[in-house]
Structures are given as C-alpha cells and as structure tokens.
Amino acid sequence: MTMSPVERDSEFDRDALSCLPEVARFARSLTRNAVDADDLVQETYLRAYKGYATFQRGASMRRWLFSICHHAWMRHLEVRKRVLLEADTADATAETLSAVMGHAAAQRAGLDRFITDLGLGPAIKSAIEELDPAFRSIVMLVDVEGMAYAEAAAVTGVPVGTVRSRLFRARRLLQERLFAHARDAGIVPADSPTSHSTDR
C-alpha cells in the first residue's frame, strides 16, 4: 500500500525524528565536536528523508539512521584520508587475553578497584574520544548503544569478525589508558606494574 506524502512525513516524524537525540550522541562521539556533529546529524536526516522509500518496514529505524550517519562520517574521513586500516589486523583472542593479563597486573598494583570510581566517567569518555575512528564507532555501537555484533556490523558495513576484533582491541586500549590515567592521577605509584607485558 502506498502512503500519501502526509502519512509518510507523519511516520518519518514519529519514527525517525524521535531517534534524533541518540543519533546526535553517536554523531558527537564520531566527530568529537559539536559543530561537526550537528552538521553530520543534518546530513544524516537529509539522506534518510530522501531515501526513506528504501527503508524496510519492520527493520530497526535506529540502526538504519546510525548506518547512514556512520557511512556519511566515513566518507568525510576518506576525503580527509584519516581512515586507519590498521584496525583490521587485530586478533580478537589475543586482545582478550591481553586485556585479562592487563587486569592481572593491575590487580597486583592495587589499581583495579578504581575502575568503579564515580569520578571516572569523564576519563573514560575522553579515552573513548581518543580512540581511532574505526575503534570508536564500534565501542559506541556495542558498549554504549547496546547493539549485538551483527547489528554493529550492519551499521558499519564490515564483517562481524572485524567488529569483534576492533571491539576487543578498543577495550584493551581503553583499559590500558585508564590504568595509565590512574597512575598519572597518583592513584598508584608510577613504578607499579600497570602493563600486561609484565605478566608474560
């Protein structure tokens, strides 16, 4: 059944524009500044509206919008030649084991407990922002938006295995940076074994 333009716009308003706050948060995490994020959101909704006929009824509107947003941002990065393909070389199992060894070292240094400190939020947010774009988008989709690997793969247009390896490396990097933050903040002495390398 074909919708009238009024019905289509009403549906777009209800289903797509209601996702704007989440799309804006995702855009902010990708661009790392408010002006670029707002431009990206505008571009996302413009593309979504123009291509609304291609949206499959019953599919996740949020995932569709995130996908448009991510693709638009990746095109910007390609233009700026800032895409790092190094991310695809990550080994998921090795990254997991490395993160576990990092935790073991942090336990010995007595700094693993700080991870639940209430004041850690800004440090984590900052550490996420410092991740390379390919890692950052996956962390946001899985760890913040709560998507399954397959959903994140659909949004980013990469295989599930790549999502997994990027996610695990990103988490390992985040963990290392937070331990370093704890050491720099004086939570533990500078000579404490905060690196997993001491555990090998």
Partner 1 sequence: MNPPISLAGVAPIDCRTAVARLWDFLDEELDAIRLAEVEAHVALCARCAEHYRFARAFLDAVSESWQEIPDTTQLRERVVETLTRQGFRDGR
For residue 81, the minimal CB distance to partner 1 (Å) is 27
Q: Residue 38 corresponds to which tokens in the numbers above? A: 């707002």
Q: Check residue 167 for interaction with partner 1 (CB under 8 A).
A: yes
Contacts of 169 (CB under 8 A, 6+ apart): 87, 90, 95, 135
What 3-state class would DSSP assign to 90?
A: coil
Q: What size, in residues, is the chain? A: 200
Q: Check residue 183 for interaction with partner 1 (CB under 8 A).
A: no
Q: Check residue 65 for interaction with partner 1 (CB under 8 A).
A: no
Minimum CB distance to partner 1 smaller for 56 or for 116: 116
CB 184 within 8 A of CB 194: no
What is the secondary structure of 129-174 as a DSSP string? HHS-HHHHHHHIIIIIS---HHHHHHHHTS-HHHHHHHHHHHHHHH
From residue 45 to residue 64, what is the string marking binding to partner 1 with x (rule CB under 8 A)? xx--xx--------------
Q: Check residue 21 for interaction with partner 1 (CB under 8 A).
A: yes
Q: How far apart are CA 146 and CA 142, in angstroms?
A: 5
Q: Check residue 20 for interaction with partner 1 (CB under 8 A).
A: yes
Minimum CB distance to partner 1 smaller for 78 or for 148: 148
Residues that bind partner 1 (CB under 8 A): 5-6, 9-10, 12-14, 17, 20-22, 24-25, 28-29, 38, 41-42, 45-46, 49-50, 92-93, 96-97, 99-100, 103-104, 107, 112, 115-116, 120-122, 124-125, 128, 139-140, 142-144, 146, 148-149, 164, 167-168, 171, 174-175
